Amino acid sequence: MRITLPLLKMWNLQTALAILGTLCLTSISGYKNGKVEKSCESMMPEHHSQPNTTASPYTLTVNARKFSPGDYIRVALSGSEHFEGFLIQARDATNPDGPAIGSFTLVDPEISQRLTCNSIEGSAVSHTSNAKKNEIQVIWKAPSNAPPTVQFLATVLAHYKIFWLKLPGPVISQGDVTPAPSQSTTIMSTNSASTSILPQPFTSEGCGVSKSCLIDPVSCNPSVDTNCFFLSYSTLDQTVSFELSGPAEGYVSFALSKDKWMGDDDTYLCINDEGRVSVEAAYTAGRTYPEVSSKSVLTDVGWRVSDGVIQCKFSRSIYTPQDPVRFSLNNSYYLFVAHGTAEYGMIHRHTRQPLISSHHQIITGPPEILTGSRSPLLMKYHGALMLIAWMLAGSTGKIMAAYFKPDWPEQTLFGQKIWFQVHRMLMSLTVFLTAVAFVFPFVYRGKWSTRAGVHPYLGCTVMILAFCQPIMAAFRPAPDSSRRWIFNWLHWGVGNAAEIIAVVSMFFGIRQQSLLLPYPWTTGVLSAFVVWTIVLKLVLKLHKHNVITKGSGKEDELPVLSDTSEDVSWDTKFRVAVLAVFVLGNSAFCISLLASIGDI
């Protein structure tokens, strides 16, 4: 349909449209050139559209986390996608809706300009044109009256109607002030509805009365002891409140487990990220890193970082139907407490300590599990007996059979040659200690472990080979039998295989979660033991083949073979001396590892 208007009316309409168009162009042009002082307070562009709520491709970064009045902080806005406009301000981190503070200095005046907000010249920075850019840098100067914590905010326009409002940037703080939880903390932490800074540390007062507590060392108080690991929980109606504290560089955490092993557990993490702590609910599936939950199940979240101690508190409902992987807190579970570096998937410490009973207790379990009085001790005994068996008894017994047969030919011990009796006693002790230690993991676990990797398979192989040795020895042919060589080779091969597999198994064993020894220190000790053993056996091997012999004492004569009574005596003394050094060295390595087991 076509409508014809009178000429006058047409002219008036054209004039009105021209005037309206001019006003619109003026408004749009104003935003293109970045003169947006009218948006100082809200940081909201007047583009008659709503801000984007999807994940932003843009990031604010700073070159320092601490500042003093008068300091200069470099601020960078960048993104994986280009942007046309921006508005950057610094505000009090505890009042992100408050006025802009401080002032900016430009790095590139061609693409950025200073604005006057809150009557402070240069308290905001914006674009100079709608040219596409991927990064902008400015310098912020901290004012003399700066608040304890400051947060940078940015509104970024990808295009005229596509923008993100008040993107939260880093929080910086003065001196030793703990940074306040920022808007970014709230957005990034999907589990927390609200976050606050704890005004004071936790205390063990009330444990056993108003709350249940898990404490390491026993009787320590987290309010005064910076080496105290502390977990408490109390109930109110259908909500459970937790307090967690411990010295750590990266994180402290605890987990609720349906069995005695880490894996498939309901986990809670307090992660220190450059002075700010995020409190997360997670789940460990098998032996993998914790998977942070995307569901919001934690409330009343608070945290504190001081003197290297991370503290956090939170509450959650006993039942969480919105997040089915969370365990119901109306059942009994095993408790695990851990801490470590920022890579919180790598558990650096694993402890179970006394649970102080209380009428509010909702997490219970067999006392021997929660106190660590039986099951952890079983694994300590397992590790200790295996170390003694194969680092001392087994290795020494093998050396006696390999290198001491020619010694003391006229002497006997209980009717047998000395080397044979010592060898038999030491190897019998090895088999006995191995058998006893072999039982402990099954008592501890109650069944075959599917999460211990290759270690149990190696252990079973060692146990079978160790039992084969005395059985073969009991049915060995006579020394002059034509079949004796078969026994000799089998006995030698099975013995060496058992020793090698036992050592490999020990390397895997010291990293087991049920017996988590300090890493990499204990691995270094065990590696040094292997090198030490090889070197000392090589010395005895060289001596056995006359590479190392006693000289004549005369410079013009070559060393002689050890075939005289005097040389035989010297050879025996040499081997005994090497054996003594071997045993002393092995004892030192073994005691070092036993001491680390005792410290668990």
* Residue 480 neighbours by CB under 8 Å, 6+ apart: none
Specify whether the CB–CB gap between 213 and 370 falls below 8 A. Answer: no
Question: What's the confidence (pLDDT) of residue 5?
Answer: 32
Question: What's the confidence (pLDDT) of residue 81?
Answer: 86
Query: Dihedral, CA atoms, 124, 127, 133, 137, nearest 10 degrees?
Result: -30
Question: What's the confidence (pLDDT) of residue 516?
Answer: 57
One-letter amino acid for residue 258 of the chain: K
DSSP string, 294-322: SS--BEEEEEEEETTEEEEEEEEES--TT
What's the pLDDT tens digit per position in 533-589? 999 999 999 988 888 776 654 444 444 444 444 555 888 889 999 999 999 999 999
User: Which spans in 3-44 are helix H?
Assistant: 7-32
Specify whether the CB–CB gap between 528 and 535 falls below 8 A. Answer: no
CA–CA dist 412, 517 (Å, integer): 43
Question: What's the confidence (pLDDT) of residue 358?
Answer: 31
Which strands make up the sheet holding 58-62, listed edge to edge? 58-62, 72-83, 133-141, 103-106
Q: Shortest CA distance to 153 belongs to which of 78, 80, 217, 77?
A: 77
What's the pLDDT tens digit per position in 438-476? 998 888 777 777 667 788 899 999 999 999 999 998 898
* Residue 19 neighbours by CB under 8 Å, 6+ apart: none
Question: What's the confidence (pLDDT) of residue 424?
Answer: 92
Q: What is the 3-state secondary structure (H, E, C) of 414-445?
A: CCEEHHHHHHHHHHHHHHHHHHHHHHHHHHHH
Question: What's the confidence (pLDDT) of residue 247?
Answer: 92
Please give the structure tokens belonging to residue 542.
């060289």
pLDDT by residue, tens only, the chain of 600 residues? 333 333 233 333 333 333 333 333 333 334 566 678 888 888 888 766 778 777 788 889 888 888 888 888 999 998 888 898 999 999 998 888 889 999 999 888 888 999 999 889 999 999 888 888 888 999 999 999 999 999 999 999 988 778 888 888 888 988 755 554 444 333 333 343 456 778 788 998 888 778 888 888 777 889 898 889 999 988 887 889 999 999 988 899 998 888 767 678 899 999 887 777 888 888 887 656 677 776 678 888 888 888 889 999 999 988 888 788 889 888 888 888 888 875 433 333 333 333 333 323 233 332 222 333 334 578 888 989 999 999 999 999 999 998 998 888 888 888 889 989 999 999 999 999 999 999 988 887 777 776 677 888 999 999 999 999 999 988 989 888 899 999 999 999 999 999 999 999 998 888 775 665 666 788 899 999 999 999 999 999 998 888 877 665 444 444 444 444 455 588 888 999 999 999 999 999 999 998 888 765
The Cα-based distances of 595 to 234, 311, 380, 382 in angstroms read: 37, 30, 11, 14
Please give the structure tokens belonging to residue 172.
């910086």
CA–CA dist 302, 181 (Å, integer): 9
Question: What's the confidence (pLDDT) of residue 339?
Answer: 85
Kind plus residue range of the DSSP H or E element containing 380: helix 375-388
The pTM of this model reads 0.45
Question: What's the confidence (pLDDT) of residue 598?
Answer: 73
CA–CA dist 186, 178 (Å, integer): 16
Question: What's the confidence (pLDDT) of residue 47?
Answer: 63
How many other β-carbons are positioned within 10 Å of the β-carbon of residue 163? 24
